[in-house]
Amino acid sequence: MDGLTTGTLPDSAAVEGGELVVGGVAASTLAERFGTPLVVYCEETLLAAARAYREAAPNALLLYSVKAFPNVELLRLLAAEGYGADVSTLGELAYARAAGIPGERIVVHGNNKSDEELRAAAEAGARFVVLDALDEIERAAAAAVRSTLVRVTPGIEADTHPAIRTAHHGSKFGLPPDQALEAIRRARDAGLEVAGLHLHIGSQLLGVDAARASIDWLGAFAADCRAELGWEPEIVDLGGGLGIQYVEGERPPTIVDFVTTLLGRLGHAWALHGLEQPSVILEPGRSLVGHAGLTLYRVGVVKQATETTTFVAVDGGMSDNPRPQLYGARYEALLANRPDEEPAGSYTVCGKHCESGDVLIESVRLPEPRRGDLLAVPATGAYTLSLASNYNAVPRPAAVLVADGKARLIRRRETLDDLLALEARAT
């Protein structure tokens, strides 16, 4: 499997009979049975990540951040591991409820919650609504929301793509410290319970430094809350953020190291300020499902455009994975039907969409690609299908879960009829 770093493929990936096998199921079988593009989730990898969080934080409330990939079956699997859900829209709440997640394990986010969303949170008995704006306070009280956290923005620049940085000065998320203090005071005056604070500094973090600094900051802020309001947080929700390896050279901390470091720092910061140790909530998304997923594409046109650029066009692209266009995201790939063949050169993997920017991978070493080959792109379990579109009226792909030699559909492929059903048509 030249050109591929170990650590990007799901845990169960292997080469058997000259082809890539995931969860005991051959890539060619998956492609024939379910079609392509297809997002394949490995149950073993998902559960290993879920259990690593549990091992590192046995007493925390663990929530799957549904935005990474809203899917009822994955939510059910995670619920069986004791996970709840972090949701930020009515739609994400609907997924959590459809998976049977009880309200006491649901936390509701959003920087612009509608009254309808606040009422739905209250009706679902959500454990906490995370206040993100001063104007939310009266609306949350009117919606009969009971318990809240206040999201605070420390002004820390996480070392990640600007689009997924969320706690810098000027962020649209959360409240800067003076407004957060004001929110706690006003929310309590309005009869809301304010149980604690929330912080999420960004996603795809490949180190712990910014997270550590933000926890130190939070400890000092909690001490300010005590001094100014006579209130201190019983709950601290540290959000998500741990990154995964997409390409060679990226070395994210392990889940256990990341969480152990954060919890250790929290204990230290709270002790430093003489605060009561709080209960903790964690909201991982990418680091739970990112590695578990891999996308299978069928290779179509192979075209030499210049002496140095040969395009390998696949049957999807920016509609099923817009991360390269959004964040300059990089991926590795392999030919799933010939993973052990020697590479013949470097190729540019493009999609089938009507934009020159529809490039999935700028350069990847592959055996000579041919029409009909299966291309596997690892680490596509998070923020791919959830960011997918119908650009060029392309139906969105199916997703399957594989384990123990079996595959089951967890999201069906969209059809042209699904797309046309949205159209207003004269009868």
Ligand X SMILES: Cc1ncc(COP(=O)(O)O)c(C=O)c1O
Residue 27 to residues 48, 115, 191, 333, 376: CA-CA distances in angstroms? 22, 46, 56, 14, 9
Pairing relationship of beta strands 374-378 and 334-335 according to DSSP bridges: antiparallel
Q: Does 86 bind ligand X (CB under 6 A)?
A: yes
* Least distance between ligand X and beta carbon 337 (Å): 31
Q: Does 89 bind ligand X (CB under 6 A)?
A: no
Residues 103-142 that bind ligand X (CB under 6 A): 109
Assess whether 225 carries a catalytic annotation: no
Q: How far apart are CA 57 and CA 260, in angstroms?
A: 8
Structure tokens belonging to residue 304: 């030499």
- Phi first, then psi: give them for residue 128, nearest 5 degrees: -140, 145
Q: Does 200 bind ligand X (CB under 6 A)?
A: yes
CA dihedral sign of residues 271, 277, 283, 288: positive
* Least distance between ligand X and beta carbon 348 (Å): 28
Residues 137-196 that bind ligand X (CB under 6 A): none
Q: Does 285 bind ligand X (CB under 6 A)?
A: yes
Return the residue of 36, 45, 65, 245 that touches ligand X, per CB under 6 A: 65
- The active-site residue, picked from 42, 225, 350, 354, is 354
- Phi first, then psi: give them for residue 156, nearest 5 degrees: -110, 135
**164 versus 229: smaller Cβ distance to ligand X:** 164
* Least distance between ligand X and beta carbon 322 (Å): 16
Return the residue of 84, 239, 351, 381 that touches ligand X, per CB under 6 A: 239
* Least distance between ligand X and beta carbon 173 (Å): 7
CA dihedral sign of residues 247, 249, 255, 256: positive
Find the residue with minimal CB distance to ligand X. Answer: 240
Cα torsion 17, 18, 20, 26 to 10°: value is -40
**12 versus 65: smaller Cβ distance to ligand X:** 65
Return the residue of 10, 70, 241, 316 that touches ligand X, per CB under 6 A: 241
**37 versus 381: smaller Cβ distance to ligand X:** 381
Return the residue of 287, 295, 337, 348 that touches ligand X, per CB under 6 A: 287
Residues 329-388 that bind ligand X (CB under 6 A): none
Q: How far apart are CA 237 and CA 283, in angstroms?
A: 8
Structure tokens belonging to residue 186: 């006003």
Cα torsion 13, 14, 20, 26 to 10°: value is -80
> Which residues are annotated as catalytic?
354
Residue ranges that bind ligand X, judged by CB under 6 A: 65, 67-68, 86, 109, 200, 203, 239-242, 283-287
